[in-house]
Amino acid sequence: MHGRLLALLTSLVVLSCAGSGPVQAQSFYEGKTLRIIVGLAAGGGFDAYARVIARHMGKHIPGSPTIIVENMTGAGSLISANHLYRVAKPDGLTVAHFLGSLIFGQVLGQPGIEFDARKFEFIGAALKEDAVCALTQASSVTSIEKWMASKTPVKLGGTGLGSPPDNVARIVKAALGLPIQVVSGYKGTSEIRLAAESGEVAGGCWSWESMRATWRGPLDAGHVVVVLQVTAKESPDLSNVPLAISLAKTDEARHLIQVAHSTSAYSRPFVLPPGTPQERVRILRTAFQETLKDKAFLAETEKAKLSLDPVTGEELEKMVAELFRLDPALLAKLKAILYN
């Protein structure tokens, strides 16, 4: 009798210990607040996606934590990326949403980068970023032909070294010989839009998915015109707009534009600090993917015209690892184009 009782108690203790890890990790989020730090200004595409995800993701995390969004702007979201790496606690309660092109910046040796992207924990991305260049009607540059014929450099807004608006503008300038002057330092695409509408710049180059959601009115009214697609394939919405690669006249130009294409998949990551417990990483990765299939979430993104083309955290990890194996000669050429 005593032997059977002892065996039963031992079994219960073993079962309790075996299940304690996941249970503790799942219950960790109960009553907690999870912060999503957006590295760009409110009102832009990064901010829009972070906020709609924050409104729905909590219910897919065991413990249903409160999720808030904060903007930490500066240096084309570099301040937020460095903060995540150097300051944020690796407890699973701080997520950053910054420009993935900064990861490419690390490979190129971009000044100011204080992180090693290979040590980040990637949750996933809601979409890939296919860039276009749009200019205001007031600039009189409403087609690629008019752009090429411009006697003076066309001013395009940028958000900082290594950011997509800056990178795309500099690459198409080098590859296609377009007259461009990058005016950098805006805190997000929302500020570039305002600068374009006031005549401070002619326009800018960034994600079509973001642009069509946040600049919808002027686009529909014809006050803003998309004149170039820097994408591997044309968008169904922009069938009359030329692809940058179709205008390239040399192999080097085509290779440069292909690099711009390749960065689209990891351009909008949601990221955790290095050292975050793996169980919490798994929980947030699963919750993120479940959120992107949530019916209420999908209804809201459809209404806001926010496109979805998800990338998993595991896929982002592999892409980042591959970046560090690129040809050194090509990297040297890109470094000269993007940072000189």
Question: pLDDT band at residue 3, thresholds of 50, 70 and 90?
Answer: low
Between the alpha carbon of residue 305 and those of residues 180, 215, 300, the distances in Å are 30, 11, 9
Does the predicted TM-score (pTM) go above 0.85?
no
What pLDDT, on the 0 to 100 scale, is given for residue 45? 87
CA distance 287 to 43: 25
Provide DSSP, 135-151: EEGGGT--SHHHHHH-S
What pLDDT, on the 0 to 100 scale, is given for residue 21? 44
Between the alpha carbon of residue 245 and those of residues 163, 234, 257, the distances in Å are 20, 11, 6
Does residue 230 contact residue 238 with C-beta atoms inside 8 Å? no
Q: In what order do the strands lie in the sheet with 224-230?
A: 180-183, 154-157, 203-207, 131-136, 224-230
Which pLDDT tens digit goes with each residue over 184-209?
Answer: 999 889 999 999 999 999 999 998 98
Compute the mean pLDDT over every residue in the chain, rounded to the nearest whole number. 90
Whether residue 144 is predicted with pLDDT greater than 80 in this model: the reply is yes
Please state, for a pLDDT cut of 90, what percent of the chain lies above it: 72
Question: pLDDT band at residue 232, thresholds of 50, 70 and 90?
Answer: confident
Q: In what order do the strands lie in the sheet with 311-312?
A: 66-71, 33-38, 94-97, 269-272, 121-125, 311-312
Which pLDDT tens digit goes with each residue over 42-68?
Answer: 988 899 999 999 999 999 999 999 999
44 closest CA partner among 229, 207, 227: 207
Whether residue 74 is predicted with pLDDT greater than 60 in this model: the reply is yes
Domains along the sequence of the chain with CATH: 30-128+265-327 (3.40.190.150), 131-263 (3.40.190.10)
What pLDDT, on the 0 to 100 scale, is given for residue 177? 96
